[in-house]
Every structure is written in structure tokens, then in C-alpha cells.
Amino acid sequence: MTTTPFALSKRVQRVKLSPNAAASARASALIAQGRDVLVLTAGEPDFDTPETIKQAAVAAMARGETKYTPTAGTAELRRAISAKYLRENQLEYTASRIMVSNGAKQVIYNALAATLDADDEVILPAPYWPSFPDMVSVNDGIPVIVPVNQATGFKLTAQALARAITPRTRWLILNSPGNPSGAVYSAPELAALAEVLRQHPRVLVLWDEIYEHIWFTPEAPAHLLHVAPDLRERSLLVNGASKTYAMTGWRIGWGAGPAALIEAMVVIQSQASSGPNSIGQAALASALNAADQSFVAQARLAYSRRAALVTAGLNAIPGLSLLAPEGAFFAYVHIGKWIGWERPDGRSITSDSDFVDWLLESEGVAVVDGGAYGLSPYFRISIAASESVLEDAIQRIRRAVNALRLPVPVPALSV
């Protein structure tokens, strides 16, 4: 962090710029210099927002819906979210149990700000979305990182959860389908976790379902509250417009949970940002209420093809391995074999960060190192790009890997 003539808070010094944003900024700087770079860092749909949603925004502006909105979100959108849960998830959430924020990220921040005191603990399976631990830290909590691995499908086990819980545990955060691994929890896996949670009634569950509609399994992913409906009064469901409807720039997300928690989160938001933008809310309400949801299904099929393409292509490159993602926008690629190898210029690959730097510098492929997600040596590559771009990226990665070499042993000195 840049040195300043004034004091910065300890709070801001505990966190850092989002690794995804930092990686994207570095790629953008190279592009500005004229470099040919494939930017596969962000979880942002390459599809445009559907035209019907844009037209709903135009209509809202024409009706004069350009004023402040209630802090918790417009009545229209909260009704639409309530109807969505009943229609798609068979869950009943009234408006008093729903709040709308400037993206799902703010929902999570609101929840942590409303519930954490100094040194309260939040359990995070690693690999995790990088903002989770930093949002815990900035709210005076302690992220308790529980590493998972390919052997468990990058999913938290009941045994690991039981070991991680202490009297200071306030939250367990679960993300399914998951970022960065693409992991999807099965009903038996969720049931096992729920059995542990029943022994610790003080622990809340943040169920991040932002990739709810981006799945590649034979059936839609299991929902925590279908498996364990008794956890409803201690669970916060987090979702939003960005992934499902390609509405990233509209910045509209929501949370659904216990009324007392939602009320406290609204208080936090009232002092941080007030209500979200009126036009984005009107557009999302229209999207959720639309009878035609074909865009969602078509996008899911496209992401499924891309996931299969990237899985096959990268697994065919020597020294790379990944589990086929079951959902979300990413593949999490193991690169352990290449640690200790050298670039053609003699510089050593000592970490996944070095490997990612080599991909960018040698072949113009921008991805994010596994260290940013709490589990090395991996890199995350976004599949939210066209098949032609992904095919190009695979070939570039292959060339970058083929250029690496074993270090030349230094001859022992004669005595």
C-alpha cells in the first residue's frame, strides 16, 4: 500500500485489492501497450444483457422511476424475488425476509458487518472466493481457512467442519456451484454438514448461490434448505442478477434469510449506500417475472460446452490437471509438476504466481494464481469467453508449458 502523510485505519491495512481486479488491471496495462492478451481473469459473462431486460430498463425510465428507492429494495423487486424462490426453489420468503443491495457482494458485507464482533470466526473452505476472507477481516473477524483438495472434489467434509468449529465460530460460508473450483455439493454431502451444524446452533450459514443457474451436472444442484430445512432460521441465501442474466454492470444482488438478520443488514446498508439504483431493480424484476427464461437455459448450455472444452484441452497438456468443473465460470488447474522448472531466461518457477506471470509474459494469457484463492499450486481460468478464445488460450498455454525446462544441475566442485 502506498505510503501516506496521514494515518490509515488498521481495518484497511488488513485487506488488499481484489486479486481478480489486480490481475485484470495488469492485463489491461499490457493491452494498452499493444500486447495481444487473452483476459481470462474475471467471472463475467461474455454475453450481453438480453434485449428484453434492457427494454424494461428503458420503460422504467420513461415511467419516471428515477428516484431514490427504499433501503431494502423496491417492493416490486422484492415481490419478484419472493415469487422466484417459491417458483424455482419451493421456498417461501416474504418481503420482510429479503433485501436488495448493490450486487451480491454488498449483501455478504452487510451480513458480516451486522453480525461479527472482534475476533469472531468465520469458516471458509479453501479454495475460496478471495473477497470472503478480506470481508471477514475488515469487519474485525477472523477467517478460519480449512483447506480442501481434489480428493474431496474441493468440498468441505463433515469431519473437517467439526474440527474447525470453536466457541467463537459465527458463520460457515458455502458456495455451490463454487468459485474457483466449479464444485457442486451433493445432497448427501450437505446432509453430513448439516448434521454437524445441528450440534452448534449458534453458527450461521451463508449459502452463496450466485451461480445457481450455471451447472453442468445431470440434474440441478442440491439446495441446502431442501436437504436441511431446519437450518432455515440460521441461513442467509445470497444471489443476484450478474451471472444468471449477464447483468454484471447493473450491480443488483439480494439476500434472503431470517427477518431479524435482514433487518440488521438493512440498517448497515442505510448508512453505507442507501437503496440500490432504481433502473437496475426494475430491469431485474422484469427478468425474474418473465415467462421466457430461454436465455438462462441457452447460456448454461454454452458454458457447459466451454467447460468440457477447457477440461479436455488443459488435461491433455503435460503437467496440468483439473477436475471437470460441475458449475460456475471457472476451471481450477493444478500445476505442481512445473514448480522448480525454469523459464527460457533462466528464472525459476517457484510458485503458481510465477507460473501465471510466465503465461502472461510469454503467451499473453491472463489468469489468476491459486494463492489468491487460498490453495496452491493452481491457477484459475475463466470459461466465460467464446470457444474460439478458449481454444486459442489452450494452445498458448501449451506453448508456454513446452518452453519450460528442468534446471541444469550445477557441477560439484572438486576438492
Cα–Cα distance between 219 and 141 in angstroms, integer? 37
Q: Which residue has the cell 451471472?
A: 243
Q: What is residue 332's predicted lDDT score, i.e. its pLDDT?
A: 98
Q: What is the DSSP string of 204-237?
A: EEEEE-TTTT-B-SSSPPPPHHHH-GGGGGGEEE
In 14-103, where does DSSP find H-type helix? 19-32, 51-62, 75-84
Pairing status of strand 253-256 against strand 368-369: unpaired
Q: What is residue 413's predicted lDDT score, i.e. its pLDDT?
A: 60
Is the same domain home to 263 and 172? Answer: yes
Q: How many domains does the chain have?
A: 2
Domain boundary among 260, 289, 318: 289
Is the same domain home to 242 and 107? Answer: yes
Mean pLDDT, 10 residues at a time, over the chain (415 residues)? 81 82 82 92 94 98 97 98 98 97 98 97 97 96 96 97 98 98 98 98 98 96 98 98 97 98 98 97 98 97 98 98 97 97 96 96 96 97 97 98 85 58
Q: What is residue 13's predicted lDDT score, i.e. its pLDDT?
A: 87
Is the same domain home to 217 and 334? Answer: no
Is the same domain home to 245 and 271? Answer: yes
Domain boundary among 245, 274, 289: 289
> Residue 43 belongs to a domain with what CATH number?
3.90.1150.10
Inside any domain, residue 415: no
Q: What is residue 415's predicted lDDT score, i.e. its pLDDT?
A: 54
Note the pTM of the prediction, 2 decimals. 0.94
Q: Respond yes or no on whether the N-terminal peptide bond of residue 127 is cis (omega within 30° of 0).
A: yes
Cα–Cα distance between 298 and 75 in angstroms, integer? 30
Is the same domain home to 96 and 161? Answer: yes
DSSP, collapsed to helix, strand or coil, labels residue 332 as strand
> Residue 182 belongs to a domain with what CATH number?
3.40.640.10
Q: Who's near 125: CB < 8 A, 6+ residues apart? A: 146, 147, 148, 154, 155, 156, 160, 173, 174
Inside any domain, residue 56: no
Inside any domain, residue 57: no
Is the same domain home to 342 and 245? Answer: no
253-262: burial string, b at 16+ Cβ within 10 Å, e else? bbbbbeeebb
Q: What is the DSSP string of 370-386?
A: GGGGT--SEEEEE--S-
Inside any domain, residue 271: yes
Q: Who's near 403: CB < 8 A, 6+ residues apart? A: 343, 344, 362
Cα–Cα distance between 354 and 352 in angstroms, integer? 5
DSSP, collapsed to helix, strand or coil, labels residue 1 as coil
Task: Give residue 350's identity as a one-letter amino acid code.
Answer: T
Cα–Cα distance between 247 and 149 in angstroms, integer? 32
Query: Are the C-beta atoms of 370 and 380 separated by less than 8 Å?
Result: yes
Is the same domain home to 244 and 358? Answer: no
Is the same domain home to 140 and 96? Answer: yes
Domain boundary among 289, 322, 348: 289
Is the same domain home to 265 and 177? Answer: yes
Inside any domain, residue 390: yes
> The domain containing residue 144 runs over which residues?
67-289
Inside any domain, residue 222: yes
Is the same domain home to 173 and 191? Answer: yes
Q: Respond yes or no on whether the N-terminal peptide bond of residue 177 is cis (omega within 30° of 0).
A: yes
Is the same domain home to 271 and 302? Answer: no
Inside any domain, residue 203: yes
Inside any domain, residue 308: yes
Query: Are the C-beta atoms of 67 and 305 separated by less than 8 Å?
Result: no
Is the same domain home to 273 and 302? Answer: no
